[in-house]
Structure 1
Amino acid sequence: MGSRLAGRTRSEWAAEGGQYEYRVLTIPRTTSRNDARRLLTEQAEYGRWELARTLLFAGGERKVWLRRKIIRVRSTLAETLD
């Protein structure tokens, strides 16, 4: 069962040219887990970002990829202006 996005499945949306924009955040090892969680929660709530990937390095540094859909607005005005 695919997830529905405005009446379409993800695969239909991707087939129609749906794209994501990405943001990569590097979180230093000195940042607590709670602060990192708070930062990512704010990005999700206010910026409409979703978590795409995380990478934890041996030294404790985290690299996080966030993504959000690129929404293209189509004109609803009639193009028949003679």
Structure 2
Amino acid sequence: MKQAEILEKMQEVFDGVFLEKVAAKPDLSAADVEEWDSLMQISLVIAIEQKFRVRFRVGEVEAARNLGEFADLIAKRMEP
């Protein structure tokens, strides 16, 4: 699955988690969204793990600097 396809599916998660509209684009980071705090981060990771049927190790998600890198991590997890 390509990064653009993953970001489209991440948008569905964002629409269900955030109160305000947040566009899932590659350069987006938590610092860009006022509502995105540590509790929101946990909610997002859980929702994304469920949506993509993947699991992340502790620290993996935090190492991603933006959604593009996070999408790449999801793609890597989805490889057979």
Shorter-chain TM range is 0.3 to 0.5
| More helix, by proportion | 2
Scaled by the length of structure 1, the TM-score of the pair is 0.36
Larger Rg: 1
Higher relative contact order (Cα pairs below 8 Å, separated by 6+ residues): 2
| More strand, by proportion | 1
Scaled by the length of structure 2, the TM-score of the pair is 0.36
